Each structure stands twice: as structure tokens, then as C-alpha cells.
Homo-oligomer: A and B are copies of this chain.
Amino acid sequence: VSTNKKTIILFSDDFDKAMAAFLIANGAAAMGDEVTIFFTFWGIDLIRKPSKVKTKGKTLLQKMFGMMMPRGPGKLGLSKMNFGGIGVRLMKVCMRHVNAMSMEDLVATAREQGVKFVACTLSMDILGFKKEELLDGIDFMGVAGYLAEADEANVNLFI
């Protein structure tokens, strides 16, 4: 266990929770820490490509989940007071007002800073996501991979 490694399981695709996750990840990376984010379940939405990718072998239900789940950081909603998408729009206005980074920029910055992006393979299997639908250059791991990383880190959050 060293103090220069952090892991975050990003389970949620709520705009506000994802923002918290990326702010912590980017802050730690800026301070020289190794950071790994495990995108699991709804969190997979953060690493979806923004436009539809043709895939084979999905069941009808998997297609349906895929259609209903947001594609990428630009489509997320707030965990509270979202009001069908109005809340998140107003929140984005508030963020621009103080020159806070957008969700898209937070994700891009994380990649630039070398934060390791890992997609949970079981979530992908269940929800039917294919590698080509997700950001290029990410890693793919199951729970054993997560635990191996967490054992080397001193801060492990579930968001």
C-alpha cells in the first residue's frame, strides 16, 4: 500500500457524481498519483462514444438498454432535481459562470493526465456493450483486476 495510487469505482452515470469522481481523479493525477477509474454498470455510459456504433450479437433487450442509457459525458442527468434534463442544463450554466470544467473536458483531461480507464467486463457482458462502442485505448477487467489495483492503492472510493 503506497500513498501514490488511487482507485475509483464509478458505478453511477449521474452528472454530479461523475463530476465528483473526475475531479478527485484529476486532482490526484495532477499531484502525481497513479489513478484508475473502473467504469461499472451505469458508469459505463461515461466511456461510450457519443454517436451510435453498429454492433453485432446484441439481444433486443440489450439494444433497448443501450438506447435508453446516455451516450457519453454530454448526455448525463443530475442525481437530484434533474426535472427531465432541465436541472442538469441549469447546473451547466452555473458551471460555465464560474469557469468550471465541463464534464467532457474533465474526461478528456483525465485521459491526457494518464488516468487509467477500465471498463468492467461483466457489466459490458450483461448490458451488451461491445469494445468498439467504448472509447479507444481503455482497458478491460473483471473484479480480480479491480482488486489487484485496489490492493496497491491507499484511497479506494465507490461512487
Residues of the B chain whose Cβ atoms lie less than 8 Å from the Cβ of A19: 41
Contact B20–A9 (Cβ < 8 Å): yes
Copies of this protein in the assembly total 3
A147 and B31 contact, Cβ closer than 8 Å, known pairs A1-B154, A9-B20, A80-B42:
yes
Chain A residues numbered 38-74 whose CB sits less than 8 Å from any CB in chain B: 40-42, 59, 61-62, 64-65, 68-69
A147 and B24 contact, Cβ closer than 8 Å, known pairs A157-B156, A158-B159:
yes
Q: Which of A89-97, A111-119, A131-139 contacts B (4 or more CB under 8 A)?
A: A89-97
A97 and B59 contact, Cβ closer than 8 Å, known pairs A24-B143, A81-B68, A126-B91:
yes
Q: Does A85 contact B (CB under 8 A)?
A: no
Closest residue of chain B to A1, judged by CB?
A: B154
A20 and B41 contact, Cβ closer than 8 Å, known pairs A127-B94, A128-B94:
yes
